[in-house]
Amino acid sequence: MMRLLFLGRAAALALLLSVSLCPGARAADRVRLAVLPFLSQAPIFIALEEGHFAREGIEIDRVSLQSSYLAIPGLMAGELDAAIPQASAGLFNAIARGGAARYVAPGVVLGAGGCSYAAFYGRGATLAAMADGSARQLSVAADALAFEGFLVDLMRAWPGAGRLSFLHREMPVQAQQAALASGALDLAFTSEPWLTRFDDARLGRVFAGAEELLPEAQYTGLMLSRRLLEERPDLGQRFTRAFAAAVRQYNEGKTARNLDIVARGTRLPADQLLRACWPFIPADGVVRTEGLMRFQAWLHAKRAIDRILPASDLVAAPRP
């Protein structure tokens, strides 16, 4: 009996070893991915929850961050493999100075959704109503050298708004609600879910949606590091394919399943997400460079970036 038991265990061990050493059995490839609790990251939450990465043989090492700007140094240096950062002077300068990460797919694109995902919010009239040639100064919570600063200058160029002036004030979004309520602030640039929260508090209305000022512009985008573009292009292709599958599911809209996944990923109440404007994330995989080029030109004029990069320096695909 003992001999039979021993032979049984030996056979089981041999079978286990044969499976683990089988040429077809391969360990999952690991990818270091920045994960942020924002609505703009919804396809990432979906890809993780629905197993899109796993089906491509990818295991994700999550790197939790509170700002997409924090992902840029890691991406450029190869300490991160993938992230969805917002366009910024820091991103363009990092590429100009030798950073190897590039856009491979669009993230949030302004417009085409019928609502404002990112906007200037205020207690008064809309930009269209104020563009009557009258001279007014408005205090606005917006970083003067960030994307919202660019949008402020586009508001100045709005037909009839040439006599509007804007006093920039930087403050965290948590402080903007109180400042709007007290009248200490005329406008705040923010994105969802804060626009819905401001509406819930009856603070005012959207003054100008970002999609009105720069329609079809890319606001965020999926970027891959050199490792996924050049060293392991097969892995980069599989990662991008998994992301695309998640974007297709995201574009099914506020289904019960998508709501559940996004609520857990963002830690936001489902009822708030139901009322919020979900950003437009195209499923075609085409990086929109026109808005990025206009933003760069503005930053260069402000001396915030070293040089204007051609679109070919911003976009790449995993090497065939």
Contact assessment for residue 269 and residue 263, using Cβ atoms and an 8 Å cutoff? yes
Amino acid letter, 269: P
pLDDT tens digit sequence for 13-41: 343 333 333 444 468 899 999 999 999 99
Q: Helix or strand or coil: residue 110?
A: coil
Sheet holding 221-224, edge to edge: 58-64, 29-35, 82-83, 221-224, 102-106
Contact assessment for residue 83 and residue 91, using Cβ atoms and an 8 Å cutoff? no
Contact assessment for residue 189 and residue 122, using Cβ atoms and an 8 Å cutoff? no
pLDDT tens digit sequence for 194-206: 999 999 999 999 9
CA distance 206 to 291: 22
Torsion of CA 35, 37, 39, 42, to 10 degrees: 40
pLDDT computed for residue 245 by the predictor = 98
Q: Counting Cβ atoms within 10 Å, is residue 241 exposed (0-12), middle (13-18) or buried (19+)? A: middle
Quickly state the pLDDT bin for 244 (edges 50, 70, 90): very high
pLDDT at 266 over 70: yes
State the pTM of this model: 0.89
Quickly state the pLDDT bin for 66 (edges 50, 70, 90): confident
Share of the chain above pLDDT 70, in %: 91
The residue written with tokens 């490792």 in the block is 227
Beta bridge partners of 63: 34
| Cβ density class 170-194: b for 16+ within 10 Å, e for less | eeeeeebbebbeeeebbbbbbbbbb
Amino acid letter, 190: T
